[in-house]
Amino acid sequence: MTFRDPNLPTAFPQETEKERPAGDPNMKAKILTFSSHGDTTLLEYDPATADMEEVNKVIAEYEAKTGAQPFDMASGERLERVTREQNEVMMVHPIAGG
């Protein structure tokens, strides 16, 4: 897994771009954030080998910290738990005032 957001809990190691070649074909799934500050890649992982409990833990911690909620980009549905079938999840931050 590759973590990109510097605001994530420090319990998870972060790789730099130099440690992982750009366009790594093993990283097929993404957790993205969408906010008024722009889109950011929160997490990339290989759904075939990733520990989905850890992926969901990262999402839950990010949701608790920011209030962002996960949505499946393919269906547009709110997710309770991310599975290997979701290849792109968007964490949508609440909009102030509405």
15: pLDDT confidence band, cut at 50, 70 and 90? very low
Number of other residues whose CB lies within 10 A of the CB of residue 19: 8
Cα separation, 74 vs 17, whole angstroms: 27
The structural domains of the chain, ordered by start, are 2-92 (3.10.20)
pLDDT at 40 over 80: yes
Give pLDDT tens digits for 47-82: 999 999 999 999 999 999 989 999 999 999 999 999
Q: Which string of DSSP letters, residue by residue, matches 28-82?
A: -EEEEEEETTEEEEEEEE-TTTS-HHHHHHHHHHHHHHH--EEEETTT--B-SS-
Residue 43, beta-bridge partner list: 3, 31
pLDDT attached to residue 62: 93
Compute the average pLDDT of residues 31-38.
Answer: 80
